[in-house]
Structure 1
Amino acid sequence: MWQKSSYCSEGNACLTVAAAGNGAVHLRESEAPGTVLTLKRAALHGLIRALKAGGTGTRP
């Protein structure tokens, strides 16, 4: 079941998430629902931490 981010307003550019049966998480943008990014939970947590810190999550 896809869930919309609580930070999304009433527009079309929203992030939606869904839990995968294997413990991973699916991410997609509401404007392009056919494109799905699947991450392990640890990778998603790392991405969120990097974004909150103002980084991109990439290494030099």
Structure 2
Amino acid sequence: MIAVIDDQDRVLYCKRLTNDLGLILAALAPYQAELEGVVVEATFNWSIPPRSCTVQIAKGRSD
């Protein structure tokens, strides 16, 4: 699942994608200028992101 949210937790984009880096990068491309980081929630079978990315491991939300 790929989701892009803003600083007010509004969902700007949300879609289930296959584990394909090109597809994921294409989905995030429209938001590239505004992205401040990437949060990885599920780490099964993931690769190391580019050095230009800030990665945070999600700990879950408590609403």
Q: TM-score, normalised by structure 2?
A: 0.23
Q: TM-score, normalised by structure 1?
A: 0.24
Which protein is bigger by CA-based radius of gyration? 1
